[in-house]
């Protein structure tokens, strides 16, 4: 079982002015990846705080899912914070999340969500809506499982992973 940290990045949620729905949505998806939540935290849209939270999360988990702060408002700085922490960007994650969710949500092209690796941890940063969290994680689920195996240095059977991803619900 992989350890996961879920970070909700939101000024209003960190101040208690609105309920956190995206963090629980991300946590509910963790079993798809063979992961369990070891920590869930809500932090404000402050680049330095986000960077530190991502670094801390990478020290204790193999998977970090951050929700919120991926839009274009002045306080949306999650992608910039993630870029400062990520050692190996994985641009395909953001590309496929935007493309595959566009039909249902045309504004998905505004999202600057994505993913990357720091050490042996996969970081995925997503929009802040619970629906976007679920939709995006569904899209990347096969890749997430493969990356987690690769980072853990488990024996990889890429053919098996490709075949599983091709099956409905993959």
Domain ranges of the chain: 2-166
- What does each C-alpha distance from 64 to 60, 72, 144, 157, 166 come to in angstroms? 9, 22, 11, 24, 25
CA distance 110 to 28: 25
Widest pairwise Cα distance in the chain: 47
Q: Please, what CATH class does the domain formed by 2-166 belong to?
A: alpha beta
- What does each C-alpha distance from 67 to 9, 45, 57, 72, 98 come to in angstroms? 6, 11, 14, 14, 15
CA distance 111 to 89: 16
Q: What is the pLDDT along the chain (170 residues), one digit of tens a residue?
A: 999 999 999 999 999 999 999 999 999 999 999 999 999 999 999 999 999 999 999 999 999 999 999 999 999 999 999 999 999 999 999 999 999 999 999 999 999 999 999 999 999 999 999 999 999 999 999 999 999 999 998 555 555 656 666 666 66
Structure token pair of residue 115: 């993913």
Which of 118, 37, 139, 39 has the alpha carbon at shortest distance from 126? 139
Structure token pair of residue 72: 């274009």
């Amino acid at each position: 079982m992989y350890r996961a940290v879920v970070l909700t990045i939101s000024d209003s949620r960190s101040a208690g002015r609105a309920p956190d729905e995206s963090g629980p949505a991300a946590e509910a998806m963790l079993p798809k990846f063979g992961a369990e939540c070891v920590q869930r935290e809500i932090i404000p849209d402050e680049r330095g705080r986000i960077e530190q939270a991502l670094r801390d999360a990478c020290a204790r988990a193999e998977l970090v899912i951050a929700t919120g702060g991926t839009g274009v408002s002045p306080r949306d700085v999650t992608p910039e914070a993630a870029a400062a922490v990520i050692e190996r960007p994985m641009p395909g994650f953001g590309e496929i999340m935007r493309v595959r969710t566009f039909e249902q949500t045309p504004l998905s092209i505004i999202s600057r969500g994505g993913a990357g690796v720091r050490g042996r941890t996969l970081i995925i940063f997503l929009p802040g809506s619970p629906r976007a969290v679920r939709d995006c994680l569904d899209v990347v689920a096969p890749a997430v499982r493969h990356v987690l195996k690769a980072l853990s240095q488990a024996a990889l059977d890429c053919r098996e992973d490709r075949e599983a991803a091709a099956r409905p619900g993959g």
